[in-house]
């Protein structure tokens, strides 16, 4: 089993450190989104539930395509993955907020 690197992301400066930290940060945002999505999904019924599932699938495709577009100019560069992860994290956090707001205002 691979050992987790001992990196202080607050002090990351090298490309591998920044890349690693961007992966960790995006993964945490994605896990939070999945928690909130499951809560909203479990409290939705019938057509509303089906619309949520469809909307989430469409949103994932939008997020991925949008981030590919945003970081297109850095393709092949050393910062590409960190830039893309930053975009994915930003949009994922926004989606989490949107779903949380929906859940609270239901």
pLDDT of 3 reads: 62
Let me know if residue 83 belongs to a domain. Answer: yes
- Asked if residues 91 and 33 have their Cβ atoms less than 8 Å apart, the reply is no
pTM given for the model:
0.88
pLDDT of 11 reads: 83
Let me know if residue 40 belongs to a domain. Answer: no
In total, how many domains does the chain have? 1
Let me know if residue 17 belongs to a domain. Answer: no
Let me know if residue 56 belongs to a domain. Answer: yes
- Asked if residues 64 and 89 have their Cβ atoms less than 8 Å apart, the reply is no
Let me know if residue 16 belongs to a domain. Answer: no
Domain that holds residue 60: 49-101
Question: How buried is 42 (Cβ within 10 angstroms: 0-12 exposed, 13-18 middle, 19+ buried)?
Answer: exposed
pLDDT of 2 reads: 60
Let me know if residue 64 belongs to a domain. Answer: yes
C-alpha to C-alpha distances, 30 to 23, 26, 76, nearest whole angstrom: 10, 6, 25
pLDDT of 65 reads: 98
Say which DSSP state 13 is in: -
Question: How would you write the pLDDT of the chain (106 residues) with one tens digit per residue?
Answer: 566 678 888 888 888 889 999 999 999 999 999 999 999 999 999 999 999 999 999 999 999 999 999 999 999 999 999 999 999 999 999 999 999 998 776 6
């Amino acid at each position: 089993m691979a050992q987790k690197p001992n990196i202080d992301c607050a002090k990351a400066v090298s490309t591998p450190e920044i890349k690693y930290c961007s992966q960790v940060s995006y993964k945490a945002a994605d896990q939070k989104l999945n928690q909130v999505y499951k809560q909203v999904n479990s409290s939705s019924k019938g057509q509303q539930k089906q619309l949520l599932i469809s909307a989430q699938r469409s949103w994932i495709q939008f997020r991925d395509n949008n981030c590919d577009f945003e970081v297109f100019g850095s393709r092949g560069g050393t910062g590409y993955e960190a830039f893309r992860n930053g975009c994915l994290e930003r949009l994922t956090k926004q989606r989490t907020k949107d779903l949380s707001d929906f859940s609270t205002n239901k």
